[in-house]
């Protein structure tokens, strides 16, 4: 198994870096949009406290789970137990 060493052309390298940069920027934008959507979800304080106490998790983790399940405490608890 022998592979020849080839010189990488700078234009190919620049193109590859550009593609990677574009992909990262799209992923970051999508993540920011997802976070904005989750922030719009209203959650009840009682549900948040229930999850925190029953699952013994942090407030941030409980809030995130509730927001991901659109405030549905049952679905959030099911996901956390699996």
Domain boundaries, the chain: 10-40, 41-81
The answer to whether the beta carbons of residues 57 and 80 sit under 8 Å apart is yes
Calculate mean pLDDT across residues 55-72: 92
The string of pLDDT tens digits covering residues 16-26 is: 889 999 999 99
Please classify residue 66 by burial: count the beta carbons closer than 10 Å to its beta carbon, then call 0-12 exposed, 13-18 middle and 19+ buried. Answer: buried
Span 41-81 CATH architecture? Orthogonal Bundle (1.10)
Whole-angstrom distance, CA of residue 23 vs CA of residue 16: 11
Residue 11 confidence (pLDDT) above 90: no
What pLDDT, on a 0 to 100 scale, did the predictor assign at position 41? 85
The string of pLDDT tens digits covering residues 12-57 is: 778 888 999 999 999 999 999 998 998 888 899 999 999 999 999 9
What does pTM read for this prediction?
Answer: 0.64
């Amino acid at each position: 198994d022998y592979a020849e060493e080839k010189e990488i052309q700078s234009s190919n390298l620049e193109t590859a870096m550009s593609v990677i940069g574009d992909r990262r920027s799209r992923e970051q934008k999508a993540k920011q949009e997802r976070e904005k959507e989750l922030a719009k979800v209203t959650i009840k304080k009682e549900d948040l406290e229930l999850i925190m106490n029953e699952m013994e998790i942090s407030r941030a983790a409980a809030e995130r789970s509730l927001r991901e399940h659109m405030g549905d405490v049952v679905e959030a608890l099911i996901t956390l137990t699996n």
